[in-house]
Structure 1
Amino acid sequence: MLYGVAFQKLLLRVMAPKPKSPRLLAGIKWESIAKKPRMMATDASMANAFSSYAEYLNNLNDKRERVVKASRDITMNSKKVIFQVHRISKHNKDEVLEQAEKDLQAVRDRHVSRLVKELNGTDFWKLRRAYSPGVQEYVEAATFYQFCRTGTLLNLDEINATLAPFSDPCIEPLQINILDYLLGLADLTGELMRLAIGRISDGELEFAERICGFVRDIHRGLTILAPDMDDSYDMKTKMDTILQSVMKIENAIFSVHVRGSEYTPLLGSTDPDYSLLGVSDIDL
């Protein structure tokens, strides 16, 4: 009996799996075994990251297309406001400005609101190139209307205040930046030059002189700011255009004062041989 028990214990010891030697255990690449699941997890996370970024880019491209469309609509309809204001004269001022105000409000309600809602809650500075032309044209139209109605300049805070009703108060609202405002202001001077020449043709010399002083003030202010706007090549090129606008208004007013009313009806002439003190390229 004792022999049988001892034999069974021996048999179990022999049949039991032998532990591997330390040398064999040392030869196993435990690092490869440990890293395998970690590498799989890393690959999965990288795939998810790339997938998420690709989806973000697709959404951003779609948003950019919608923003460009809204910007074009703002540009087109803002130009209509500018054309409406150019119809102003001493006989129809109230009627023209009333219609221009309605048209400007329609631009805000139908088109600017789309742009604001599209950009709310996003990094709208990334899409500035897509909507900047429309914003500049809107600034030009709004400031042009404001000057003809009150003789004052619509500042940036006042323009941004008109966008507030379209913004979600819980999300960072779209704000027109200072660069787009100044670029729109630079374009305003060209419209004011055309308006001044037209008013002189209608005998409204006093109004033209007021416009001339206003354009001079804009040019003086932008001359101070332009050197600090190193990233804006557009502003540097527009400064020459602003100076030309000032000179055209001054030359037209000077000619009327020096040569009398005989030049007044000729300011609106389309005769290519007509020149005003050497300035034959007045844009009408």
Structure 2
Amino acid sequence: MDTSRDNEEQRNSTAAATATEAQATEQQKPEAKQEHKRYSGGAGKRRPHSHHEQRHGAHGKRAKADLDPNNPMLPHFVEYAKILTDRQDQRERLVKLSRDVTIASKRVIFLLQRYNGTNAETLIAQANEKLASIHATIRAIAKELDGTDPAMHHRAYSPGMQEYIEAITFMAYIKDGSLPSPEDIAALIFDGAGDDDPRMAIVSTDYILGIADLTGELMRLCINNATDNTIPFQICERMRDIYEGFLSISPKMRMKDFEKKMEVMGNSLRKVEKRTHT
């Protein structure tokens, strides 16, 4: 009997303690809600967990600060923003013009790859028609660069100039086996232009890298005329001259992509030599 009474008292004591704990928990819930609202700024918002969120917001966006219109530095930053915007717009126009030159120059190269030793005059006449529009586009690049430092935007129009130099030197080789200089190419581009029209020089790096790409087209021309008894040997001799000229360039003067171009040029030359010695 005493044991049963003790067990019952113990159960009653445990139930009372549980009820007291539950009541205390219910009393703490409103306080926790108020604490959450105080940190989060209201219902439905969460407290920033990092210094980055406090500055930039939960989605990574910088909070917009109120600018004092009377701040003496504000006009300067407005001016700088306009300069940077204009410069970026100019770069985008140059990139588009360069892309147009690249596409048109590739079409000239594809046309000239049909050379078979007997149709040079026909192909050159068709190529000159396409080159007229390319020259107009390059003159537009020169006009865009007028009054600015060309080196600032060189990377924007360099790919197009390299492709054009590859095309014009390829045509010169098919025409009479010559290799025009940068001055010759510039004179061809601005032939017929007015005295007051802006002009631009051929950048040496564009010329060198364009000549390096020319060897790839000469290799393809050799393969296309593999059964001819003259064309492959003439191409092999010209490619050797170009390769030796590139080897003579001092390592200190070699620009970006030079080594990669040299490797491709060497592979093309070996293919041509294999064709002419078998």
**Same fold (TM > 0.5):** yes
Shift of 1:66: 0.5
1:140 equivalent in structure 2: 166
**2:261 corresponds to 1:235:** no
**Matches of 2:211 and 2:105, distance apart in 1:** 14
The answer to whether structure 1 residue 215 and structure 2 residue 239 are counterparts is yes
1:111-122 equivalences in 2 (<5 Å): 111-122=137-148
Q: Does 1:123 align with 2:146?
A: no
TM-score, length basis structure 2 = 0.70
- In the alignment, which residue of structure 1 is the partner of 2:51? none
Q: Do the aligned residues in 2 keep the contact of 1:74 with 1:138 (CA within 8 Å)?
A: yes
Once the 2 structures are TM-superposed, how far is the Cα of residue 209 of structure 1 from its aligned partner? Answer: 0.9
In the TM superposition, structure 1's runs of 4+ consecutive aligned residues that sit over 4 Å from their partners are 165-172
Going from structure 1 to structure 2, the CA distance change for 1:243 and 1:229 (only over 3 Å counts) comes to same
- RMSD of Structure 2 on Structure 1 (CA): 2.1
Are the equivalent residues in 1 in contact too, given 2:105–2:134 (CA < 8 A)?
yes
* Structure with the bigger percentage of helix: 1
Percent identity between the two aligned chains: 38
- DSSP 3-state at the match of 1:209: helix
Matched AA of 1:241: V
CA distance in 2, matches of 1:226, 1:238: 15
Structure 1 residues 77 and 171 mapped into 2: Cα distance closer, same or farther (>3 Å)?
Answer: closer
- State yes or no: 1:102 paired with 2:102: no
Within 5 A, what are the aligned runs for 1:161-180?
161-165=187-191, 173-180=199-206
Q: Residues 171-213 of structure 1, C-alpha deviation per residue, up to 9 Å, x if partnerless?
A: 8732221011100010000000100121223x2x212211111
Deviation at 1:89, TM superposition (A): 1.4
Once residues 172 and 98 of structure 1 are traced to their aligned partners in structure 2, the CA distance between those partners, rounded to angstroms, is: 27
Change in 2 beyond 3 A, CA 1:93/1:126? same
Counterpart of 1:227, as a letter, is: P
CA 1:166 to 1:117, structure 2 compared with 1: closer, same or farther past 3 Å?
Answer: farther
Give the TM-score, by structure 1 length: 0.69
Aligned-pair CA distance for 1:113: 2.2
Aligned residue identity for 1:252: R
Q: Give the one of 223, 233, 253 matched to 1:197.
A: 223
For structure 1, the 5+ residue unaligned runs are 1-42, 256-284
- Classify 1:100/1:168 alpha carbon distance in 2 versus 1 (closer, same or farther; 3 Å): closer
Give the aligned partner of residue 61 of structure 2.
none
Instruction: Report if aligned partners of 2:139, 2:199 keep a CA contact under 8 Å in 1.
Output: no
User: Structure 1 residues 95, 169: closer, same or farther in 2, change over 3 A?
Assistant: closer
In 2 relative to 1, CA 144–226 (structure 1 residues): closer, same or farther, beyond 3 Å?
farther
Does structure 2 conserve the Cα–Cα contact (< 8 Å) formed by 1:120 and 1:167? Answer: no
Cα distance between partner residues in 2 of 1:68 and 1:85: 26
